[in-house]
Homo-oligomer: A and B are copies of this chain.
Amino acid sequence: MADTDSPTAGASPVSPIDRDLEAHLAAHDDEQLQRLLALLRIPSISALPAHAPDVAAAAEWLAGELRRLGLDDVQVVATPLHPLVTARWHRRPGAPTAIVYCHYDVQPVDPVDQWETAPFEPFVRDGRIVGRGSADDKGQIVMHLAALEALLAVHGALPLNLTFVFEGEEEYGSESIMAWLRANREALRADLVVISDTGFFEGNIPALTVGLRGITYAQVDVYGAPVDLHSGQYGGVVENPVNALARIISALKGPDGRVRIPGFYEDVLPLPEAEQARLAALPFDEEAYRLGTGVRELVGETGFTTLERRGARPTLDVNGIWGGFQGEGAKTIIPAEAHAKVSCRLVANQDPDRIFALLRAHVAEIAPPGVRVEVRLIHGGRPILTPTDHPAILAAARALEAVYGQPPVFIREGGSIPVAAAFGEVLGLPVVLYGLTQPASNAHAPNEWLAVENFERGARAIVRLWQELAELPR
């Protein structure tokens, strides 16, 4: 999947934006690249307390850029953890208002020995910008800055009103922004939310992500005797918590990939035939995808395709398990306890709290006698599904088609962006996931990269997005 640096789209080499804007962008492409490299050099890892000053430095850098561009109300907003950076340009009364969200924090760099070079000493090679955060999500931030700069320099104004919200703890749970959103509903009045934190379809095919799965993440704890028992003396007369946990887990999902929690599928919206057809028509190389995962065989819920399973169907996975002896050799015990992290990925219209209640009830139902079983919620997040015929989605599709020369594909991604669901829910706004990177960009992994071409075209796609959205009826 990594051999597709060049967009497979892009038949039209002519810029789809007006000549002056294009001339300005082309004249400043390298300057914007240097700007991105400067931001990439700040190791703003939100998960590691030692990097808190770096996160703060990235926030200040970003606020400085927004001030330089002449935006209003540029603020670095303190939160319980890492700051938000907010700004606005609301000088076109009567035009639509969009909230723009990206995040300026990055993932940790482990395993650092698998990086070809230092993660925070970014460089450009073979058309790729390599460094932590290049794709996720600093590259998209600087694309937005470049688009702003071009529009303001050439036209002296934006075609619509924008409110910027840049987060500094997206890679660490987005907790602070959730409370902040609820407390600032009024100030965040807008017509829609544009989030640039996703990517294109396999092989760099322009795409709009219209679905993100939600999540219910729980822990199952099984307790037997108060201490480990000798497996010779007690084997066969007491329930073994690990055996019990294995039985519970295997009762949660069948070998057919179906989740066996009663009621689990009750709220799932069936995939419309038109979308099934659209997914089936995607140029998806399943064998290349399998090779990318490194597994022997792709498996999943009977009756669905891989793309359907990945984005349009809910599922259940154990994320971790532990209990008893884990060392070399043998220890003959019946462990006192066993534990598992169990999470469900949810699709529209499933509710994370209801799914947790169903999970807990089912586990209680099947828990064997002789052990005590507890299930507790660790966190939940709602799924997102934006109708593909929503005017904002259609506008975004027009923008992508104009810039990339082909209409984007609509995709549902398997992951969750809790803050995306929160924007939609708390503010009651449609969310457009306008992501411009390649799926194979090694986000969260060593040697993260962003194609220079995606970086440069992305700025143009954002310019065009604002132009398309400006035309939306209010």
The smallest beta-carbon distance between A372 and chain B, in angstroms, is: 7
Q: Does A341 belong to the interface (CB within 8 Å)? A: yes
Contacts known (A323-B321, A324-B318); A345 close to B231, Cβ less than 8 A: yes
User: Which residues from chain B contact A299 at a C-beta distance below 8 Å?
Assistant: 237-239, 368-370
- The answer on a CB contact under 8 Å between B313 and A324 is no
The smallest beta-carbon distance between A235 and chain B, in angstroms, is: 5
Q: Does A297 belong to the interface (CB within 8 Å)? A: yes
The segment from A1-9, A410-418, A423-431, A456-464 that touches chain B is: A410-418
Option from B224, B294, B340, B370 in Cβ contact (under 8 Å) with A226: B294
- The answer on a CB contact under 8 Å between A236 and B300 is yes
Q: Which of A297, A321, A325, A332 has the most CB of B within 10 A?
A: A321
Q: Which of A243, A253, A295, A444 has the most CB of B within 10 A?
A: A295
User: Which residues from chain B contact A253 at a C-beta distance below 8 Å?
Assistant: 243
Q: Does A351 belong to the interface (CB within 8 Å)? A: no
The segment from A32-40, A97-105, A244-252, A354-362 that touches chain B is: A244-252
Option from B233, B296, B330, B369 in Cβ contact (under 8 Å) with A217: B330
Q: Does A371 belong to the interface (CB within 8 Å)? A: yes
Chain B's closest residue to A369 (CB) is B297
Q: How many copies of this chain?
A: 2
Q: Which of A215, A318, A326, A370 has the most CB of B within 10 A?
A: A318
- The answer on a CB contact under 8 Å between B230 and A415 is yes
A234 to B289, CA, bound (A): 11
A415 to B341, CA, bound (A): 33
Number of interface residues of A (CB under 8 A): 83
A414 to B237, CA, bound (A): 10
Contacts known (A236-B257, A255-B247, A298-B370); A231 close to B293, Cβ less than 8 A: no
- The answer on a CB contact under 8 Å between A232 and B213 is yes
User: Which residues from chain B contact A345 at a C-beta distance below 8 Å?
Assistant: 231-232, 235-236
Q: Does A390 belong to the interface (CB within 8 Å)? A: no
Q: Which of A213, A231, A323, A339 has the most CB of B within 10 A?
A: A231
- The answer on a CB contact under 8 Å between B320 and A320 is no
Q: Does A343 belong to the interface (CB within 8 Å)? A: yes
Contacts known (A236-B257, A246-B250, A320-B323); A295 close to B370, Cβ less than 8 A: yes
- The answer on a CB contact under 8 Å between B379 and A225 is no
A239 to B256, CA, bound (A): 11
The smallest beta-carbon distance between A293 and chain B, in angstroms, is: 5
- The answer on a CB contact under 8 Å between B330 and A413 is no
User: Which residues from chain B contact A249 at a C-beta distance below 8 Å?
Assistant: 242-243, 246-247, 250
Please list the 3 inter-chain residue pairs (A to B) with the smallest Cβ-Cβ separation, ordered nearest first. Answer: A232-B415, A320-B324, A320-B325
Could you list some 8 contacts between A and B, CB below 8 A?
A236-B345, A237-B300, A242-B318, A246-B246, A246-B318, A296-B370, A299-B368, A321-B326
